[in-house]
Amino acid sequence: MADLKGINLAMQTPFEESGAIDFPVFEELIEKYVAAGVHGLVLGAGTGQHPYLTEAECNQLYEVGAKRIAGRCNVICQTSALNMDEVIRRSRHAESIGADALMILPPYFEGPSDDDGLVDFYKAIDAAVGVDIVGYNIPQATGISVSPQLLGRLTQLKNFNYIKDSAGDFTVHQEFLRTGATVLNGADPTTVYALMAGARGVIWGAANYMPYEAVKLYDLVTSGEYGQALALWQRMLPSILFIWREPYTPSVVRAAQLRGFGTGRVRRPLRPLSTVQEALLRRALEQLG
Protein backbone atom coordinates (compact mmCIF):
# COMPACT_ATOMS: atom_id res chain seq x y z
CA MET A 1 0.00 0.00 0.00
CA ALA A 2 1.34 3.38 -1.03
CA ASP A 3 1.38 6.09 1.61
CA LEU A 4 -0.57 8.99 0.12
CA LYS A 5 -0.03 11.29 3.07
CA GLY A 6 0.33 15.03 2.76
CA ILE A 7 -0.27 17.31 -0.19
CA ASN A 8 -1.29 15.42 -3.31
CA LEU A 9 -1.58 18.23 -5.81
CA ALA A 10 -4.47 17.71 -8.25
CA MET A 11 -2.37 18.88 -11.15
CA GLN A 12 -3.54 21.15 -13.93
CA THR A 13 -3.00 20.12 -17.55
CA PRO A 14 -1.47 23.05 -19.46
CA PHE A 15 -2.66 23.72 -22.98
CA GLU A 16 -1.23 25.49 -25.98
CA GLU A 17 -3.28 28.19 -27.68
CA SER A 18 -4.32 25.57 -30.26
CA GLY A 19 -5.85 23.42 -27.52
CA ALA A 20 -3.15 20.75 -27.60
CA ILE A 21 -1.49 19.67 -24.35
CA ASP A 22 1.64 21.73 -23.76
CA PHE A 23 4.01 18.97 -22.67
CA PRO A 24 7.10 21.17 -22.16
CA VAL A 25 5.13 23.37 -19.73
CA PHE A 26 3.67 20.22 -18.12
CA GLU A 27 7.18 18.98 -17.36
CA GLU A 28 8.24 22.43 -16.09
CA LEU A 29 5.26 22.43 -13.75
CA ILE A 30 6.21 19.03 -12.39
CA GLU A 31 9.67 20.38 -11.55
CA LYS A 32 8.17 23.43 -9.82
CA TYR A 33 5.70 21.39 -7.78
CA VAL A 34 8.28 18.79 -6.77
CA ALA A 35 10.60 21.64 -5.73
CA ALA A 36 7.77 23.02 -3.57
CA GLY A 37 7.79 19.76 -1.63
CA VAL A 38 4.45 18.23 -2.58
CA HIS A 39 4.05 14.62 -1.51
CA GLY A 40 2.19 13.49 -4.62
CA LEU A 41 0.92 14.64 -7.99
CA VAL A 42 -2.50 13.59 -9.27
CA LEU A 43 -2.30 13.46 -13.05
CA GLY A 44 -5.50 13.86 -15.03
CA ALA A 45 -7.43 15.09 -12.00
CA GLY A 46 -10.66 17.00 -12.46
CA THR A 47 -8.53 20.13 -12.17
CA GLY A 48 -6.45 18.58 -14.95
CA GLN A 49 -9.58 18.64 -17.15
CA HIS A 50 -9.76 14.84 -17.32
CA PRO A 51 -13.30 14.77 -18.79
CA TYR A 52 -12.05 16.72 -21.81
CA LEU A 53 -8.97 14.60 -22.51
CA THR A 54 -9.04 11.53 -24.74
CA GLU A 55 -7.85 8.16 -23.52
CA ALA A 56 -4.75 8.46 -25.70
CA GLU A 57 -3.99 11.92 -24.30
CA CYS A 58 -4.35 10.64 -20.74
CA ASN A 59 -2.05 7.72 -21.46
CA GLN A 60 0.61 10.03 -22.90
CA LEU A 61 0.20 12.52 -20.06
CA TYR A 62 0.74 9.76 -17.50
CA GLU A 63 3.72 8.31 -19.32
CA VAL A 64 5.45 11.68 -19.58
CA GLY A 65 4.49 12.61 -16.03
CA ALA A 66 5.64 9.40 -14.36
CA LYS A 67 8.95 9.51 -16.23
CA ARG A 68 9.59 13.13 -15.21
CA ILE A 69 8.54 12.59 -11.58
CA ALA A 70 10.92 9.62 -11.43
CA GLY A 71 9.92 8.49 -7.96
CA ARG A 72 10.41 11.89 -6.29
CA CYS A 73 6.80 11.92 -5.09
CA ASN A 74 3.75 9.71 -5.43
CA VAL A 75 2.04 9.43 -8.81
CA ILE A 76 -1.75 9.13 -8.75
CA CYS A 77 -3.53 8.76 -12.08
CA GLN A 78 -7.23 9.27 -12.66
CA THR A 79 -8.51 6.38 -14.78
CA SER A 80 -12.23 7.13 -14.63
CA ALA A 81 -14.44 6.41 -17.62
CA LEU A 82 -18.08 5.56 -18.31
CA ASN A 83 -17.32 2.28 -20.07
CA MET A 84 -16.26 -0.50 -17.69
CA ASP A 85 -13.75 -2.05 -20.08
CA GLU A 86 -12.21 1.37 -20.62
CA VAL A 87 -11.81 1.96 -16.88
CA ILE A 88 -9.92 -1.33 -16.60
CA ARG A 89 -7.85 -0.63 -19.71
CA ARG A 90 -6.91 2.85 -18.51
CA SER A 91 -6.15 1.52 -15.03
CA ARG A 92 -3.87 -1.25 -16.26
CA HIS A 93 -2.00 1.20 -18.46
CA ALA A 94 -1.47 3.63 -15.58
CA GLU A 95 -0.24 0.79 -13.39
CA SER A 96 2.15 -0.34 -16.14
CA ILE A 97 3.87 3.05 -16.32
CA GLY A 98 4.42 3.27 -12.58
CA ALA A 99 1.34 4.83 -10.99
CA ASP A 100 1.32 4.41 -7.22
CA ALA A 101 -2.47 4.71 -7.07
CA LEU A 102 -5.53 5.09 -9.29
CA MET A 103 -8.28 7.62 -8.63
CA ILE A 104 -11.60 6.32 -9.95
CA LEU A 105 -15.05 7.93 -9.94
CA PRO A 106 -18.10 5.75 -9.38
CA PRO A 107 -20.21 5.04 -12.54
CA TYR A 108 -21.58 8.55 -12.59
CA PHE A 109 -23.93 8.71 -15.58
CA GLU A 110 -26.98 6.49 -15.25
CA GLY A 111 -24.87 3.66 -13.90
CA PRO A 112 -25.72 1.70 -10.76
CA SER A 113 -26.12 3.94 -7.74
CA ASP A 114 -27.14 1.32 -5.17
CA ASP A 115 -24.54 -0.01 -2.77
CA ASP A 116 -24.40 -3.51 -4.27
CA GLY A 117 -23.89 -2.08 -7.76
CA LEU A 118 -21.12 0.23 -6.57
CA VAL A 119 -19.36 -2.60 -4.74
CA ASP A 120 -19.53 -4.75 -7.89
CA PHE A 121 -18.10 -1.88 -9.95
CA TYR A 122 -15.07 -1.40 -7.74
CA LYS A 123 -14.72 -5.17 -7.21
CA ALA A 124 -14.21 -5.68 -10.94
CA ILE A 125 -11.49 -3.01 -11.03
CA ASP A 126 -9.92 -4.36 -7.85
CA ALA A 127 -9.54 -7.77 -9.49
CA ALA A 128 -7.85 -6.25 -12.55
CA VAL A 129 -5.10 -4.19 -10.90
CA GLY A 130 -2.46 -4.50 -8.23
CA VAL A 131 -2.10 -0.92 -7.00
CA ASP A 132 -4.12 1.23 -4.63
CA ILE A 133 -7.55 2.44 -5.65
CA VAL A 134 -8.69 5.86 -4.44
CA GLY A 135 -12.47 5.99 -4.46
CA TYR A 136 -14.04 9.36 -5.06
CA ASN A 137 -16.97 10.89 -3.19
CA ILE A 138 -18.13 13.96 -5.08
CA PRO A 139 -21.94 13.79 -5.12
CA GLN A 140 -22.31 17.35 -6.42
CA ALA A 141 -20.77 16.13 -9.70
CA THR A 142 -21.79 12.46 -9.87
CA GLY A 143 -25.13 12.36 -8.08
CA ILE A 144 -23.77 9.44 -6.04
CA SER A 145 -23.07 9.80 -2.31
CA VAL A 146 -20.78 7.24 -0.74
CA SER A 147 -22.17 6.51 2.71
CA PRO A 148 -19.97 5.52 5.65
CA GLN A 149 -21.61 2.09 5.50
CA LEU A 150 -20.73 1.68 1.82
CA LEU A 151 -17.20 2.87 2.48
CA GLY A 152 -16.86 0.14 5.10
CA ARG A 153 -17.75 -2.47 2.49
CA LEU A 154 -15.46 -1.02 -0.16
CA THR A 155 -12.42 -1.02 2.11
CA GLN A 156 -12.79 -4.79 2.41
CA LEU A 157 -11.54 -5.02 -1.18
CA LYS A 158 -7.85 -5.77 -1.49
CA ASN A 159 -6.78 -2.58 -3.24
CA PHE A 160 -9.50 -0.10 -2.26
CA ASN A 161 -7.40 1.64 0.37
CA TYR A 162 -8.40 5.32 0.10
CA ILE A 163 -11.41 7.56 -0.31
CA LYS A 164 -11.13 11.10 -1.65
CA ASP A 165 -13.95 13.09 -0.06
CA SER A 166 -14.83 16.21 -2.05
CA ALA A 167 -18.41 16.54 -0.83
CA GLY A 168 -17.65 19.28 1.69
CA ASP A 169 -19.95 17.75 4.32
CA PHE A 170 -17.68 17.74 7.36
CA THR A 171 -20.09 15.57 9.33
CA VAL A 172 -19.83 12.77 6.75
CA HIS A 173 -16.08 13.35 6.51
CA GLN A 174 -15.72 12.65 10.23
CA GLU A 175 -17.97 9.61 9.89
CA PHE A 176 -15.62 8.37 7.16
CA LEU A 177 -12.68 8.79 9.52
CA ARG A 178 -14.47 6.79 12.21
CA THR A 179 -14.82 3.79 9.86
CA GLY A 180 -11.04 3.38 10.02
CA ALA A 181 -10.71 4.06 6.29
CA THR A 182 -7.82 6.17 5.06
CA VAL A 183 -9.38 9.47 4.04
CA LEU A 184 -8.03 12.15 1.72
CA ASN A 185 -9.79 15.49 1.80
CA GLY A 186 -10.85 16.95 -1.54
CA ALA A 187 -13.06 19.86 -0.49
CA ASP A 188 -10.89 22.99 -0.50
CA PRO A 189 -12.78 25.00 2.18
CA THR A 190 -12.45 22.23 4.80
CA THR A 191 -8.77 21.40 4.22
CA VAL A 192 -7.19 22.63 7.44
CA TYR A 193 -10.00 21.21 9.58
CA ALA A 194 -9.92 17.84 7.81
CA LEU A 195 -6.18 17.57 8.46
CA MET A 196 -6.70 18.45 12.12
CA ALA A 197 -9.46 15.83 12.33
CA GLY A 198 -7.19 13.09 11.07
CA ALA A 199 -7.33 12.99 7.27
CA ARG A 200 -4.17 11.30 6.00
CA GLY A 201 -3.71 13.95 3.37
CA VAL A 202 -5.44 15.94 0.67
CA ILE A 203 -5.98 15.83 -3.06
CA TRP A 204 -6.01 19.55 -3.62
CA GLY A 205 -6.69 21.63 -6.72
CA ALA A 206 -5.89 24.98 -5.08
CA ALA A 207 -2.34 23.78 -4.48
CA ASN A 208 -1.75 24.45 -8.19
CA TYR A 209 -1.46 28.16 -7.44
CA MET A 210 -0.08 27.98 -3.90
CA PRO A 211 2.04 24.83 -3.62
CA TYR A 212 4.49 26.25 -1.08
CA GLU A 213 1.69 27.50 1.14
CA ALA A 214 -0.11 24.13 0.88
CA VAL A 215 2.97 22.21 1.99
CA LYS A 216 3.59 24.72 4.79
CA LEU A 217 0.01 24.32 6.01
CA TYR A 218 0.37 20.54 6.15
CA ASP A 219 3.69 20.80 7.98
CA LEU A 220 2.23 23.18 10.56
CA VAL A 221 -0.78 20.97 11.24
CA THR A 222 1.22 17.76 11.51
CA SER A 223 3.65 19.42 13.93
CA GLY A 224 0.74 20.61 16.09
CA GLU A 225 1.30 24.31 15.42
CA TYR A 226 -2.40 24.99 14.97
CA GLY A 227 -2.26 28.72 15.68
CA GLN A 228 0.25 29.30 12.89
CA ALA A 229 -1.67 26.95 10.61
CA LEU A 230 -4.88 28.91 11.11
CA ALA A 231 -3.09 32.21 10.54
CA LEU A 232 -1.77 30.90 7.21
CA TRP A 233 -5.21 29.54 6.43
CA GLN A 234 -6.72 33.01 6.77
CA ARG A 235 -4.38 34.23 4.01
CA MET A 236 -5.38 31.30 1.80
CA LEU A 237 -9.10 31.46 2.49
CA PRO A 238 -10.25 34.37 0.26
CA SER A 239 -9.04 32.64 -2.90
CA ILE A 240 -10.28 29.23 -1.71
CA LEU A 241 -13.77 30.59 -1.16
CA PHE A 242 -13.66 32.24 -4.58
CA ILE A 243 -12.68 29.10 -6.51
CA TRP A 244 -15.23 27.00 -4.61
CA ARG A 245 -18.13 29.30 -5.56
CA GLU A 246 -17.05 30.27 -9.08
CA PRO A 247 -16.20 28.00 -12.05
CA TYR A 248 -13.61 25.84 -10.34
CA THR A 249 -11.09 24.74 -12.94
CA PRO A 250 -11.00 28.02 -14.91
CA SER A 251 -10.44 29.84 -11.61
CA VAL A 252 -7.66 27.53 -10.45
CA VAL A 253 -5.70 27.54 -13.69
CA ARG A 254 -5.99 31.32 -14.05
CA ALA A 255 -4.89 31.83 -10.44
CA ALA A 256 -1.98 29.49 -11.12
CA GLN A 257 -0.96 31.46 -14.20
CA LEU A 258 -1.11 34.73 -12.28
CA ARG A 259 1.27 33.24 -9.70
CA GLY A 260 3.69 31.79 -12.23
CA PHE A 261 2.37 28.26 -12.78
CA GLY A 262 1.12 27.24 -16.22
CA THR A 263 -0.64 28.76 -19.20
CA GLY A 264 -4.03 29.53 -17.65
CA ARG A 265 -5.89 27.97 -20.58
CA VAL A 266 -8.91 25.68 -20.43
CA ARG A 267 -10.16 23.28 -23.04
CA ARG A 268 -13.65 23.59 -24.48
CA PRO A 269 -16.40 23.33 -23.35
CA LEU A 270 -14.86 25.07 -20.32
CA ARG A 271 -14.66 28.85 -20.66
CA PRO A 272 -12.20 31.36 -19.25
CA LEU A 273 -13.29 33.68 -16.48
CA SER A 274 -15.27 36.80 -17.29
CA THR A 275 -13.77 40.26 -16.77
CA VAL A 276 -15.73 40.63 -13.53
CA GLN A 277 -14.66 37.20 -12.26
CA GLU A 278 -11.06 37.95 -13.15
CA ALA A 279 -11.09 41.15 -11.09
CA LEU A 280 -12.60 39.33 -8.11
CA LEU A 281 -10.01 36.55 -8.37
CA ARG A 282 -7.14 39.03 -8.40
CA ARG A 283 -8.54 40.68 -5.29
CA ALA A 284 -8.92 37.29 -3.57
CA LEU A 285 -5.29 36.44 -4.30
CA GLU A 286 -3.91 39.66 -2.80
CA GLN A 287 -3.42 38.21 0.69
CA LEU A 288 -1.11 35.54 -0.71
CA GLY A 289 1.24 38.19 -2.07
In-domain check, residue 151: yes
Residue 112 pLDDT: 86
Could you count the other beta carbons within 10 Å of the beta carbon of residue 112? 14
CATH number, domain of 113, equals 3.20.20.70
pLDDT in tens, 196-230: 999 999 999 999 999 999 999 999 999 999 999 99
Please, what is the end-to-end C-alpha distance for the chain in angstroms? Answer: 38
18-23 contacts, C-beta under 8 A, 24 or more apart = 19/267, 19/268, 21/53, 21/57, 21/60, 21/61, 22/263, 23/64
CA distances from 241 to 250, 261, 289 (A): 14, 20, 17
Angle, in degrees to the nearest 10, between helices 115-128 and 84-96:
40
In-domain check, residue 20: yes
CA distances from 71 to 40, 107, 140, 230 (A): 10, 31, 33, 32
In-domain check, residue 278: no
Counted domains in the chain? 1
In-domain check, residue 175: yes
In-domain check, residue 102: yes
What is the band of 289 on the pLDDT scale with cuts at 50, 70, 90? Answer: confident
In-domain check, residue 141: yes
Domain span including residue 109: 6-229
Instruction: For residue 274, give the DSSP letter.
Output: P
In-domain check, residue 277: no
Cβ partners under 8 Å of residue 180, min gap 6 = 155
Q: What are the φ/ψ torsions at residue 246 (nearest 5 degrees)?
A: -100, 175
Does residue 38 register a pLDDT over 90? Answer: yes
What is the band of 259 on the pLDDT scale with cuts at 50, 70, 90? Answer: very high
Kindly tell me the sign of the dihedral angle through the C-alpha atoms of 145, 204, 209, 53.
negative
CA-CA-CA-CA torsion for 25, 37, 98, 203, nearest 10 degrees? Answer: -90
- pLDDT average, residue stretch 257-283: 98
% of the chain surpassing 90 pLDDT: 96
In-domain check, residue 119: yes
Provide the mean pLDDT of the chain: 97
The answer, as to whether pTM is greater than 0.85, is yes
Cα separation, 68 vs 14, in Å, equals: 15
Residue 221 pLDDT: 98
Does residue 74 register a pLDDT over 90? Answer: yes
pLDDT in tens, 78-132: 999 999 999 999 999 999 999 999 999 999 887 888 999 999 999 999 999 999 9
Does residue 183 register a pLDDT over 90? Answer: yes
